Amino acid sequence: MTEKKSLTYAEAGVDIDRADQAKGRIKKLIESTFNDKVVGGFGQFGGCFSGKFEGYDDPITVSSSDGVGTKIKIAIMMKKYDTVGIDIVHHSVNDIAVMGAEPQFFLDYLGLGKLEPGVVEEVVSGLVAGCKNAGMALIAGETAELPDIYHEGEFDLAGFIVGVVDRAKILDGSTSREGDLIFGFASNGLHTNGYSLARKIVFEHQGWTTAKHFPELGRTIGQALLEPHKLYLEIIRKLRDADGVRGFAHVTGGGIPGNLVRIMPSGLTFDINASVINVPPLFKILQQAGNVETAEMYRAFNMGIGLICVVNQELGESLFESLAPPDRPVLLGKIIKGTEPILEFS
C-alpha cells in the first residue's frame, strides 16, 4: 500500500517560516514609531493606544482608510517598494488633517502572492518613514500571503488611520459663505490617483518603459510616476485655527471639482479659473500622449493642486501672503450661489 504524502502549508503556498522572518526584520522599524501613548509592544493580537487626549475639551476621533491603487503596479515594475508605503500614510494623514484632526496612530494591511521578507521590509520602511513625517505611531497591521488571490510578485497595500480633533474645531466647510475665496496648494505629482489612466497612456498606448527619460521632468517617467504623495499636515497646522478658515479639501480621486464639492454647503457651489494653475510637465506629457480632453484630465488627476483651502474675504490674501514659497498658494476662485460648479480652463 502506497503511503500518502503529508501536505504542508508551505506547499499550499503559505510559508510561515518566511512570515516569521519578515516579522523579525520589521519589528525594530515599527517600534521606532512608538510614543508614550502606545501600550505594549509589537506582536500583540491588537495594537493598544491610550485614549487620553490631553489638551482637548471635547475630543472627537476622526478615522479613514484607503489604498495605493494601481500605483503599486509601477512600484513592482521598478522593483522599488518603499515609496508606496510613504504614499498610503501621507494620503491618509491628509484625509483626516483637512477636517482639523491631528494624526494619532496608523495600521496597515499588506497582501502578497508570495511573502518575500525583503519586499515586506522595504514597504514597511516606507510606512515607518511616512508615520515619522506625521509624528504618529504605526501600532499594528497584517501581512498576508495569499497565493490564490495575488500572483507571485504582486501585492496590495491599504492603510487605516485615527486622529483627534476638538468637536468645536472640526472643519467641514459648513460655515462657508458666498464670496469666500478658494486657494490651491501645489501637488508634487499624481499623488495616488489617476494611475489606471496614466499606466494605460504610458505603457499601453505609447509603449514606453519606466526608463524613458524626459528632459522636462529631469528624470525617467517611472521615477516621476513613483514620486511619493505630498504631506500637507504642516500647512494645515499653520492655517486651521486662523479665524476665517472655512475648510480644506484634499484633492484625490475626482480631481479638484470632485473633492471641492464635498465641503460645499447646500445652495452654494464654486467658480474656479483653472488657467491660473501652473500645470506641471508630467500632466502635460500624459495629456498629449493620451490625447485626453482637458475636462477629463481635471476629473482624473489633481493637475498640480493637491490641497484646497476656503477662507473668508476678510482673511483672504493677507494670510496667504505670509506663507513663503513653495507653500504659497494660488487664488483659484470663489464660492458662489447655485448648484452647478463652474470650472473654466481659459
Quick: pLDDT tens for 111-158.
Answer: 999 988 899 999 999 999 999 999 999 999 999 999 989 998 999 999
19 vs 25: CA distance, rounded Å: 10
321 vs 179, residue with greater confidence: 179
CATH topology for 16-169?
60s Ribosomal Protein L30; Chain: A; (3.30.1330)
**Which of 177-181, 231-235, 238-242 is predicted with the least confidence, judged by mean pLDDT?**
238-242
Q: Per-residue confidence at 220, pLDDT binned at 50, 70, 90? A: very high
Q: Per-residue confidence at 341, pLDDT binned at 50, 70, 90? A: very high
Q: For residue 214, how many other CB atoms are within 10 A of its CB?
A: 15
Query: According to the model, what pLDDT value does residue 8 have?
Result: 61
Q: Enter the C-alpha cell of residue 170.
A: 472640526
CA 213 → CA 70, 184, 194, 286, distances in Å? Answer: 21, 29, 21, 14
Would you kindly state where each structural domain of the chain is located, as residue ranges? 16-169, 181-344
pLDDT at 1 over 60: no
User: Which ranges of the chain would DSSP assign to H, the alpha helix?
Assistant: 16-31, 71-78, 82-97, 117-134, 195-199, 221-225, 233-239, 255-260, 281-290, 294-300, 316-321
pTM of the model: 0.93
Query: According to the model, what pLDDT value does residue 162 have?
Result: 97
Mean pLDDT of 207-227: 98
Considering the chain, what is the average pLDDT of its residues? Answer: 92
pLDDT at 258 over 80: yes
9 vs 345: CA distance, rounded Å: 58
pLDDT at 315 over 90: no
Query: According to the model, what pLDDT value does residue 30 have?
Result: 85
Mean pLDDT of 56-69: 95
β-pair type (342-344, 268-273): parallel
Q: 181-344 belongs to which CATH class? A: alpha beta
Query: According to the model, what pLDDT value does residue 3 have?
Result: 65
Query: According to the model, what pLDDT value does residue 20 have?
Result: 67
The angle at the Cα of 39, spanning 33 to 45, to the nearest 5 degrees, equals 95
pLDDT at 4 over 90: no
Sheet strands side by side (includes 268-273): 245-250, 305-311, 181-186, 330-337, 268-273, 342-344
